[in-house]
Structure 1
């Protein structure tokens, strides 16, 4: 039995995994969706990037979880990748879902074409948070209007410091058993740092023919990929 610790991307909380969790539990696994500080029901809690890393480590230790599969979606690949070495032998595997991966000393936005200038300006203009985005942002990702409405309705502004503070990696990510899930409708090829990591014997690439939010568009298929990854 694996214990999946599920961390959704920017602006989302544990609720984003509501349709995935039942499939994991029905297969006999533990499922532990996590809301990071400053988001959803934890909105207003001050948070920097290391706060989010500690949120993940604390969840694993608080519940004394073993055979842990850390799942990071989108932004949350950044704290998940940093938390992986910090939970030691509790870790079984990492799964990155169409996500960023941390580079030591670099922030989430530093790899963006403009170096994060627009994101930083948006954060400064919105009280230190990255604001929510309109429904049109989710077009073209295999989502129904109802699913888009659910994402928009549940989203909260994202604490800006988590996007601009540098990552701290204590071990190379290529050392960990890892599945990288690329969502084809999202369009972009894996970034150069992900492509390099995929040359490691410990990493494997899986693709889904859906958009950037597969926990909404294809929850059953996503859960099966997690279950298959845990068996590797």
Structure 2
């Protein structure tokens, strides 16, 4: 039995995986949606990026999970990628879902043009407020899905965006699958494209938007199961 640890991106908690979790469990696997510090039911607690890395590692170790597939969506690919190398032989595979990936010594905000995010942090006491409903257009989300993301989403702690990643070995050494959601852009970011040239990384594509746990939960679950070996 594989244990999936599911970590959603900015503003979201473990609730974002509500439609994926039953599909994984129905196939006989463990599924553990994880809310990171400062978000959802843990909102209001200050957090840096390394706090989120510890959240993931501590969750795996506390539950004594083995044969683990770590799943990181969007922002959470950065702490998930760091946690993946820290859980040692507990790791089966890491899956990045339309995600950022950690680059040693580099922060989330340094990885792409992000002046608008820095401005939002300055204007909102160091947190990144959720997007407006119109920002989710064109991502294959229904009105009720957008409403849930917007209303249940919580401000994202800014320290997680400015603190640099810490890697002890090349990310290319991890067994990994990258899921590219095509409505959010046809090509993986340059750092991911470079990793995909290695032997241990595989690319999967989904013809949907950036939040496939909402728009295509069955297809996403199928990719996760395949990444775990069935």
The normalised TM-score by structure 2 is 0.98
In the alignment, the residues of structure 1 paired with residue 13 and residue 53 of structure 2 have an alpha-carbon distance, to the nearest angstrom, of 15
The aligned counterpart of 1:145 is: 143
Contact (CA 8 Å) 1:109, 1:164: kept in 2 or not? yes
TM-score (norm 1): 0.97
The answer to whether the aligner puts 1:206 opposite 2:177 as a matched pair is no
Deviates more, 1:186-195 or 1:52-61: 186-195
Q: Residue by residue, what CA displacement relative to the aligned partner does 1:159-210 show, whole Å, maximum 9, x if unpaired?
A: 0010111100111111011000000011252111100000110000000000
Alpha-carbon distance between aligned partners in 2 of 1:22 and 1:220, rounded to the nearest angstrom: 10
* Corresponding position of 2:225: 227
Question: Which of these residues, 159, 162, 165, is aligned with residue 160 of structure 2?
Answer: 162
Moved over 3 A (4+): none
Give the drift of 1:125: 1.1
Classify the secondary structure of the residue corresponding to 1:167: coil
Q: Where does structure 2 lack aligned partners over 5 or more consecutive residues? A: none
Say whether 1:63 aligns with 2:33.
no
Question: Deviation per CA, 1:117-165, whole angstroms, max 9, x where unpaired?
Answer: 3212211210110011111111100111111111111100000010111
Residue 161 and residue 44 in structure 1: after superposition, are their counterparts in 2 closer, same or farther (change >3 A)? Answer: same
Unpaired runs of at least 5, structure 1: none
Q: Distance in 2 between matches of 1:188 and 1:207?
A: 9
CA RMSD of aligned residues (A): 0.9
Verify the 8 A CA contact 1:53 1:80 in the aligned structure 2: yes
2:32 corresponding residue in structure 1: 32
Distance 2:123 2:39 in 1: 19
Partner of residue 103, structure 2: 103
In the TM superposition, residue 94 of structure 1 has moved relative to its aligned partner by 0.3
2:134 aligned to which of 133, 136, 142: 136
Alignment-derived partner of residue 78 in structure 1? 78
- Aligned counterparts of 1:94 and 1:34: Cα–Cα separation in 2: 15
- In structure 2, what is the equivalent of residue 171 of structure 1? 169
On the 8 A contact 1:120/1:164 being kept in 2, the answer is no
Number of residue equivalences: 230
SS for the counterpart of 1:31 is strand
